[in-house]
Homo-oligomer: A and B are copies of this chain.
Amino acid sequence: MDKIEIGRINQTVKKWLQADYDLINKMMQSKLDISTKTGPRDLVTNVDKASERFLIDKIRTFDPDSKILGEEGQGDRLTSMKGSVWIIDPLDGTMNFVKQRDHYAIMLALYQDGQGILGYIYDVPKNVLYSGGPAIGVFANEQKLQNPENVNLRSGLFGASGPLVIENKFGMQSIIRNSAGMRIYGSAGIEFIHVLLGKTVGYISYLKPWDVAAGNILASTLGLVCTKVDGTPLDMLSSNLVLVTTEKAQQDIRKIVKENV
């Protein structure tokens, strides 16, 4: 896919996301229909489902030969990353959305034969769309982002996942003690945005493909490292214990993880 083609797709996708933003904001004016999935902390609402339906419809029309993986299961069953694959998190941070109406995002990513082409994280409450990919760079709305500074763990705040901290897996508590402090925002999309902007030095969590697909593309484009916690590449067909971080902090963290496995 050449740069002109990617630019054309990008302009189209940004229009979808703007319309999806409007849809979500409109639906928030009515009472939410909330149900649980795997457990009491795994929520889905009518808005998650409508946002996914909306994006799938757009993609099917625009790119009918592609495969689609969506969190709410209205897409395809994905068995390979061959060809054009769209990965949708129609509303990331659903618990925040339900309890706070704050700190949530829409995420969308396009992969071609397993390579990340375009990623999107839309911070809906702040109305800022983070978009881009290796061919075009990363933007916050229309403003091009610079790579965040390559600082070490000790110099930065670290985005953690609550359960990992409590269970103290993989040396989590030691990682935090060796950072400038722990932050928990409760949405992978919002956590990724903090890392992209250098507001945190990294983020670790168990993530499903739709939680990491977009952030992975944006982070890699900005010189950050996004891998499994052992440094091996992500597998977009399964869950991963994801670590996204600066290069320097990755070295610090992997040392701690090795001592605690």
**Chain B residues within 8 Å of A8, by CB:** none
CA distance A199 to B103 in the complex (A): 10
Q: How large is the interface on A (under 10, 10 to 19, 20 to 34, 35 or more residues)?
A: 20 to 34
Closest residue on chain B to residue A168 by CB atoms: B166
Q: How many copies does the complex hold?
A: 2
- Which residues of A from 175 to 206 have beta carbons under 8 Å from B? 176-177, 180-186, 194, 197, 199-200
Does A102 sit at the interface, judged by CB under 8 A?
yes
A99 in contact (CB, < 8 A): yes
Given contacts A41-B181, A182-B162, A184-B183, are A157 and B199 in contact (CB under 8 A)? Answer: no
- Does A156 sit within 8 A of B, measured CB to CB? yes
A230-B33 Cα distance, complex, nearest whole Å: 37
The answer to whether A166 touches B157 (Cβ under 8 A) is no
Chain B contacts for A182, CB-based, 8 A: 162, 165, 184
Indicate if the CB atoms of A199 and B102 lie closer than 8 Å. Answer: yes
Candidates B41, B156, B183; contact of A186 at CB < 8 Å: B183
Separation of A166 and B162 alpha carbons in the complex (Å): 11
Measured CA separation A248–B157 after assembly (Å) = 33
With A99-B157, A157-B95, A157-B99 in contact, do A162 and B180 touch (Cβ < 8 Å)? Answer: no
A173 contacts the other chain (CB 8 A): yes
Complex: A173 Cα to B185 Cα, angstroms: 17
Q: Does A100 contact B (CB under 8 A)?
A: yes
Q: How far is the CB of A198 from chain B (nearest CB, A)?
A: 8
Tell me which residues across on chain B come within 8 A of A162, comparing CB atoms. 176, 181-182
A173 CB, nearest partner CB in chain B, Å: 5
Contacts of A180 in B (CB 8 A): 40-41, 95, 99
What is the distance, in angstroms, from A134's C-beta to the closest C-beta of chain B?
A: 26
Q: A185 is contacted by which of B41, B160, B183 (Cβ under 8 Å)? A: B183
Question: In the complex, what residue of chain B is closest to A185 when comparing beta carbons?
Answer: B183
Residue A112 interfacial (CB < 8 Å): no
Please name all residues of chain B whose beta carbon is closer than 8 Å to the beta carbon of A45 when the two chains form the complex.
Answer: none
Residue A96 CB within 8 A of the other chain: yes
Q: List B contacts of A185 (CB < 8 A).
A: 183, 185
Q: 10 A-B pairs, CB-CB below 8 angstroms?
A: A99-B157, A99-B200, A100-B194, A100-B199, A101-B199, A102-B199, A157-B186, A160-B184, A165-B165, A185-B185
The 4 lowest CB-CB distance pairs between A and B, nearest first, are: A100-B199, A162-B182, A184-B184, A166-B173
Residues on A facing B (Cβ under 8 Å): 40-41, 95-96, 99-102, 156-157, 160, 162, 165-166, 173, 176-177, 180-186, 194, 197, 199-200
